[in-house]
Structure 1
């Protein structure tokens, strides 16, 4: 069946592809998301192409050709996915279509230096939590006769639930407020995810795709297998930019950032809860003492200071280390984001990721200008920058520059 205005696709040098025959007068099939994507900046109004038989994407970035190493890596570092013909008039070069063979890496995920750093920084919190759990177990043993070791052992092995699929499902639904993709959302998301994982040499079926009902441009990598994107990103990003976002989140998983962060958070949770309880009790006690007399307040302050000093002495200064840990954790988190950016760029999505980061930077700047209401923008404080878990956008864009320069 001939087509009156055959579309031309980037990177395709052969004759135009033939649409499947569906009858003497059937039009070419529509592809998932082809008529609803906006290839302008997120937040702009979306319009279907004027010619439904020949979808046009005017603002698509240039994409690496199959078999051509992206800037910054050699041909030997490319994932071995056999290129095939384009199967959809979209802005992403799908190389793992029907009939193509994808070679998976022997090791699907690892633990890089960032993940190890996270685990090491969680050790003081783990020790404090172990102390709290041990105290609770001792109280239960004295009150009910429950063996002392049982609650402690149960808490110690509970970290394995990070990789338990039903627990992950509960975590995604009720804590992260994520939803399973609807059929039309899955038809849009899954081909892009297959392309990303094929380039990385990773079995994408090991992960679960989720949707957050949000109007923000964001994505998530959590637990052992959760990959989530916002509905805004799904509906407004071109496929190549959506792939760049997903490749970034896959980098968090393959580098071990997602599971190590959640595991450390879980094992330090009892210590954090105990600290918040102690802090609340101290504040309430000082407030009540202030109603009676300054003498009572002074006596209470001296008593709290004595208990604190004794605790620090007995625990060899461990509580003081906890005061520095949040700053170190934030620094490691910023490093993890840069590593995930590099992972996406190494797969050939550097230019697309840079476009997404630039768009997010503009949105953040405009939001701050709107909040300032005409006043000069105040610089972010040093303390806030030190506690930020994400690098600023100019830093991330600067680190992507080696992947954006053409190779001479």
Structure 2
């Protein structure tokens, strides 16, 4: 047997390349049957599960509705406290006040004759004392306690309640501040009435109705008070009351004569018709004799009502101008429009016979027509007040 020494014999070469070992990276998976590329099919995604509904929270209470703010009236004004400059002349007597006193001079003379006659009949030579006291009694027009008595007893006014004063005082202070007048110079009073009205009486009384106080915007209320302040500063209020006071004896005497004449005529009718005629003739002759003897007094007294009505109408227009000069022309026009509407409504409710449209009624009217007053206010409304 033969042996080789030194080196081993190399193994024989394997024919061809070695087969790839399964699981190596070069190994590729066989194509998947049924697919063009041999890739694995893409499975559709499964639908996502539905999201859980949100938890039901308890419903919150709805927010309360905000009430709509009422629309402000055009004549509602803002009044602010400010420095007040008082005028040196707080009141006076304009042309209408002087005219009123002159028109009532005949009535004063008749009253003086009546007072003197009665005093002489009862007191003889001492008649001068009651006559003098009567003449001086006119100063009571400016006496505050007497004015309070007149306000309560004759005008049926009352003092304002605290709530009424709280509404009235700021408006009155604004009016007097614009006029340069001391607001404490006058006293505010209330009238229980459903009418739109205000008053200026005696020397220091300013009255307003409850309807005006509770329903008018403060601008219109200020315009009404400014109108009444114009009556005071112009002397219309005290001149009117003074003239009426001094005319009272003559008026009472005239009423007494008329009442006695009516009674005499009725008694004469019961007796006989000729006696009635004789009595009427006697009264007529006596009246003619009196007119002939005192025509200078009687005739002015006959036309005095018409003259007084004319003066009253002029004083109303002057008071309107006073309110307009203080800046209340537009609110005053609103008041006049409202008053005219109320008057038309009252006439419509009362019937056509309630309206007095005759010429004599207009001559005796103490107030101008609303159309006339608005016409005089028009220059102020147009921004060109008359000088």
- Shorter chain as denominator, the TM-score bin is 0.7 to 0.9
Partner secondary structure for residue 193 of structure 2: coil
- In structure 1, what is the equivalent of residue 368 of structure 2? 391
Distance 1:50 1:177, change over 3 A: farther
In structure 2, list runs of 5 or more residues that go unmatched. Answer: 1-65
Structure 1 stretches of at least 4 aligned residues deviating more than 4 Å after TM superposition: 375-379
The correspondence of residues 237-316 of structure 1 with structure 2, limited to 5 A, is 237-316=216-295
Secondary structure of the equivalent of 1:402? helix
TM-score, L = length of structure 1: 0.75
Distance 2:139 2:97 in 1: 17
Question: 1: distance between equivalents of 2:137 and 2:354?
Answer: 46
Secondary structure at the residue paired with 1:93? coil
1:125 aligned onto 2:139: no
Kept after mapping to 1: 8 A contact 2:198/2:225:
yes
Find out whether 1:101 has 2:83 as its counterpart: yes
Aligned mates of 1:359, 1:287 — CA distance in 2:
48
Deviations 1:99-129 (A, max 9, x none): x321111000010000000000010000000
Greater gyration radius:
2
User: Is 2:213 aligned against 1:224?
Assistant: no
What SS does structure 2 have at the residue aligned with 1:210? strand
- 1:380 is aligned to 2:357: yes
Relative to structure 1, the CA distance from residue 253 to residue 215 in structure 2 (aligned partners, 3 Å threshold; closer, same or farther) is same
User: Which residue in 2 is equivalent to 1:193?
Assistant: 172
Supply the distance in 1 between the matched residues of 2:131 and 2:177 (Cα, whole angstroms): 42
User: Residue 326 of structure 2 aligns to a residue in which SS?
Assistant: helix
Aligned to 1:92: 77
Q: 2:213 aligns with which of 219, 222, 234?
A: 234
The one-character-per-residue Cα deviations of 1:159-188 (angstroms, maximum 9, x if unpaired) are: 000000000011101111111111111110
1:333-386 CA-partner distances (Å, limit 9, x unpaired) = 0000000000001110000000010011011011111111xx698661111111
TM-score of the superposition, structure 2-length normalised?
0.79
Q: 1:261 and 1:397 mapped to 2: Cα distance?
A: 24
- Are 2:116 and 1:134 aligned? yes
> In 2, Cα distance between the equivalents of 1:58 and 1:104?
32
Distance in 2, Cα, partners of 1:376 & 1:327: 23
Q: How many residues align?
A: 320
CA distance in 1, matches of 2:353, 2:104: 39
Shift of 1:309: 2.2
Quote the Cα distance in structure 2 between the aligned partners of 1:156 and 1:170: 20
The reply on whether 1:332 has 2:311 as its aligned counterpart is yes
Distance of aligned partners of 1:379 and 1:300 in 2 relative to their CA distance in 1, 3 Å threshold? closer
